[in-house]
Amino acid sequence: MLSKGRVARRVKSEMQTRSSLGVWRTDGVLESSAVSKAKKGVFYPASKGNISCSLARLLGVYSCSNMSPLSSLPNFVSENYEVREWKHASAILQTDFPEEYADILDVLTGFRLPKSHLVVGGGGKSKVSQALERPLLARGWKEKSWSTKIVVDNVSKDSPTHKVDCFKNRVALEIEWSNKDPFYDRDLNNFRLLFDLRVISVGIIITKADELRSVLTELGIWSKSGTSTTWMSKLLPRIEGGGGGGCPILAFGIKRNLYLPEG
């Protein structure tokens, strides 16, 4: 674990080096912000004028993303969700699956995150996941599993895929709220297999934006949903590392704006 002083010096050195190479201009305000955020361990996108991708990964602040943000979303969705796409997923949805895309945007627009859904205990599917799934099921989406096999020289072997939370017309959607982050590996591998088998055309994951950490801390439940669970910053590096193979993927991270403290 790097000390705060070493973090600050490394960030400053990195920015000075980049500036000398003409990669970006060193700006006192931006540099101060980068150092401050890195020292606090706050989620911080790496981009021009900020800390570099490699340094962000080193600090564990954020994995620099080549995934594209979307600019053609309804204002409510773009303001209340962190949205990233991989391999033109949104264009495919808009063109080939407009009904399914409209379903997803409608559900995201109507979703809120009440306090009662966060503090409730017990096992099973979380209240948050249920709140997202229920309106999708009402629109004809369903939980889906497939029976798949591999046949070699007329010898058949089962090769099961994991069930998908919500499926409709070649669009698969997973909701990851309070699971441990290795569940992302399961989801992405499932998307990869189903895409290669020509069963799905797009995979979608709805999860937590990192800025929700402050809400969980305020509620005193950080220990239950800490860094080992599913967060957007845990998902993006897995996608960029090829976890989903060639499957186009659209990821939504629920932001703090949707939290209802009185709910």
Topology of 75-260 in CATH? Restriction Endonuclease (3.40.91)
The answer to whether the pTM exceeds 0.85 is no
pLDDT on residue 155: 78
pLDDT in tens, 14-28: 555 444 433 333 333
Token reading at 47 = 């981009």
Residues above pLDDT 90, as percent of the chain? 46
Boundaries of CATH 3.40.91.20 in the chain? 75-260
Percent of the chain beyond pLDDT 70?
69
Our CA angle for 86, 129, 110, nearest 5°, is 80
Beta bridge partners of 83: 252
